[in-house]
Amino acid sequence: MNTTTPSKLEKILAAGHYAVTSECGPPRDGRSNIVEHKAGMIKDHVDAINVTDNQTAVVRQCSLAACIKLRLLGLEPVLQMVTRDRNRIALQSDLLGATSFGIHNVLCLTGDHQRFGDHPSSANVFDMDSTRLIQTVKLMRDDGMLLSGFEMKEGRPEMFIGAAENPFADPFEIRVFRLAKKVAAGAQFIQTQCIYNMAKFKLWMQGVCDMGLHEQVAVLAGLTPMKNVGMAKYMKNRVPGIDVPDEIIKRLAGVPKEKQAEEGIQICLEQIEELKQVQGVRGFHIMAIEWEEKVPEIVERAGLFPRPSVN
């Protein structure tokens, strides 16, 4: 079992287990107990906890602060970083700060455009994109260098490098190539956009395996259980890059409102079972949006509990 970092997530994957990750969205205020509370609900059922970075460009507590909090509680955070709001100076600075607190997982993202969020008139940065951020972390970790060429004698980041990929965005033909590019840049794990169109995901995964990428990167299948049919319709019509087939909407609409949440969980569980059969799927990233309390139930009912322990 070869690992490159002290990351628990990396160790679990290297040991051949399915990895299970989930995420916590920090609050839109400065309360100190929210992330802690959310993480507390899921900590025994997941291997690592992503902390989102001002997702959908809405101002929230910073991902780094929340990750530090989780780390101090002895948990395993995945630091999400978008390149929308910080230039290469700030990104590297935050990576060093995270390193100083023993944060060993990073998810490199470009980020939703700021026009989606609560400050649409703000400037954006985009000094680099997600692919370059992956390369930057790798450079800092493996070569002990900053982008400036400055050499770190000590205190290099020791981070398991992650990225996202959306098999459902267009043009579809480029999506496997794009993953290949991120892998070439240094991505070691991938958390996908949430999957609803299983046929399309399998087609993408086939392409991933045909190129041998599944042997170079651990693909964690992204899942977001639907709370109700309204959410499904919103995701289909209002969230770019999310592909919700009509069958999902019909299925949720076909049960009484009070049973739609359970139906959503059931769909998610069926997806996990199906995904276990797909070559190259190495784990699951469960994004239960403002529904973290359901994660333990999903993990248990999916037969993914207890979580393995690694040293």
Query: What does the binding site for another protein look like in residue numbers (CB under 8 A)?
Result: 84, 88, 110-113, 115-116, 120, 124, 126-132, 135, 147, 164-166, 169-171, 173-174, 177-178, 180-181, 184-185, 193, 238, 240-241
Query: Is the Cβ of residue 168 or residue 291 nearer to another protein in the bound state?
Result: 168
Smallest distance from another protein to CB 23, Å: 16
Smallest distance from another protein to CB 185, Å: 5
Task: Copy the structure tokens of residue 203.
Answer: 């087609």
Query: Is the Cβ of residue 33 or residue 124 nearer to another protein in the bound state?
Result: 124
Smallest distance from another protein to CB 110, Å: 5
Smallest distance from another protein to CB 90, Å: 14
Q: How far apart are CA 31 and CA 28, in angstroms?
A: 9
Smallest distance from another protein to CB 228, Å: 22
Query: Is the Cβ of residue 17 or residue 236 nearer to another protein in the bound state?
Result: 236
Q: How far apart are CA 289 and CA 295, in angstroms?
A: 10
Query: Is the Cβ of residue 20 or residue 57 nearer to another protein in the bound state?
Result: 57
Query: Is the Cβ of residue 132 or residue 156 nearer to another protein in the bound state?
Result: 132
Query: Is the Cβ of residue 14 or residue 239 nearer to another protein in the bound state?
Result: 239
Q: Closest Cα to residue 16, out of 6, 3, 34, 4?
A: 3
**What is the separation of C-alpha 73 from the centre of its chain, rounded to a whole number of angstroms?**
21
Query: Is the Cβ of residue 59 or residue 184 nearer to another protein in the bound state?
Result: 184
Smallest distance from another protein to CB 136, Å: 9
Task: Copy the structure tokens of residue 199.
Answer: 């046929």
Smallest distance from another protein to CB 246, Å: 17
